[in-house]
Amino acid sequence: MDKEQLMKLHQFFVYVVKEISEDNNLNKDCDELLKLYEMLDIRPHHIHRLKNEQKAAILLLSAYVAKFLANNLDNVPENLSKKLKENAIKHLIICKKEDILKKIGALENDDVKIEKENEEKIKE
């Protein structure tokens, strides 16, 4: 996807999350995902941001939607939201967003450490 398409997709997810948030039927996991998204401080109109930053934001918003759907529908897998969040963290690692990763405690996660080491090996 090019940057413009990512920005449009990001805007779409912002609208969806806004509609879901108005429902007030959210749990702690949904709140956590929304806080992570807010910490990124990346909005759809931020054209100067990296594609990987936009992707991380989109993945966090989609994880939020997936968590909401898993809580309200029977046929949506519970782990979908978790996988989307993990992918968002991988994109943040690529962008070298250690400050945000430290805030969310992701750098202490063994999977993230292994992923970061693999990224460094690839760059060498």
pLDDT at 105: 65
pLDDT of residue 110: 45
Residue with tokens 């990763």: 101
Eight-state DSSP code of residue 49 = S
pLDDT tens for the 124 residues of the chain, in order = 898 999 999 999 999 999 988 876 677 888 888 988 998 888 999 988 888 889 999 999 999 999 999 988 888 898 999 999 999 988 888 877 776 676 666 655 545 554 555 555 555 5
Give me the pLDDT at residue 92, please.
83
For the chain, the structural domain boundaries read: 3-123
Summarised one tens digit per residue, pLDDT across range 97-123 is 776 676 666 655 545 554 555 555 555
Q: Report the pLDDT value the prediction gives residue 73, as an integer from 0 to 100.
A: 86
Three-state secondary-structure class, residue 124: coil
Nearest one of 52, 87, 49, 92 to 66, comparing CA atoms: 87
Whole-number Å distance between alpha carbons of 77 and 82: 10
Residue type present at position 110: D
pLDDT of residue 114: 45
